[in-house]
């Protein structure tokens, strides 16, 4: 993964084994999918700074991290996690570490916080990619788009 200054054009490598970056609002940190941890072929959720320094590893289970989005208040990351043999599920992860909670039993991909932080939009992988909404506390699950015609 590289970072480039849009004003100067300077480009530099941040981390060799990082993917799926999502910026923090402070512009100084990114949540990433990292493949660089010993003893596992699975990716982990981590936070790095704009110099490429590892700040914190947030997941350590035998799990594959998918798409990532950081809440605007920078307290939470929503991501999809694939446990072996289980389809992608959506999880909320504290940016401080330690707290990981499943948001829904609906298979999910591409989760994204609303600008207000009151909702998370995602596509449901088990119903032809329809768009759904859920609150960050896991309540108020709503289907937003209908079946394909």
Q: Mean pLDDT throughout 49-56?
A: 90
Q: Mean pLDDT throughout 46-69?
A: 87
pLDDT tens across 114-133, in order?
999 999 999 987 777 789 99
CA distance 79 to 88: 9
Length of the chain measured in residues: 149
pLDDT tens across 65-102, in order?
889 999 999 999 999 888 766 667 889 999 998 778 88
Residue 71: per-residue pLDDT: 96
Residue 148 pLDDT more than 60?
no
CATH of 2-143, one of 2.40.30.10, 3.90.550.10, 2.120.10.30, 3.40.50.800: 2.120.10.30
pLDDT band at 60, cuts 50/70/90?
Answer: confident
Residue 39: per-residue pLDDT: 61
Q: Which pTM was predicted?
A: 0.86
């Amino acid at each position: 993964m590289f970072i480039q200054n849009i004003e100067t054009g300077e480009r530099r490598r941040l981390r060799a084994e990082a993917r799926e970056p999502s910026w923090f609002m402070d512009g100084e940190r990114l949540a990433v999918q990292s493949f660089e941890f010993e003893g596992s072929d699975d990716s982990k959720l981590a936070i790095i700074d704009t110099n490429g320094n590892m700040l914190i590893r947030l997941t350590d289970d035998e799990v594959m991290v998918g798409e990532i989005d950081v809440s605007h208040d920078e307290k939470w990351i929503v991501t999809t996690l694939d446990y072996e043999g289980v389809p992608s599920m959506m999880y909320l992860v504290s940016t401080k570490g330690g707290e990981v909670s499943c948001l829904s039993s609906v298979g999910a991909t591409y989760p994204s916080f609303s600008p207000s932080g009151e909702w998370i939009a995602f596509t449901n992988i088990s119903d032809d990619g329809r768009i759904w909404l859920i609150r960050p506390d896991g309540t108020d699950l709503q289907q937003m788009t209908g079946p394909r015609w």
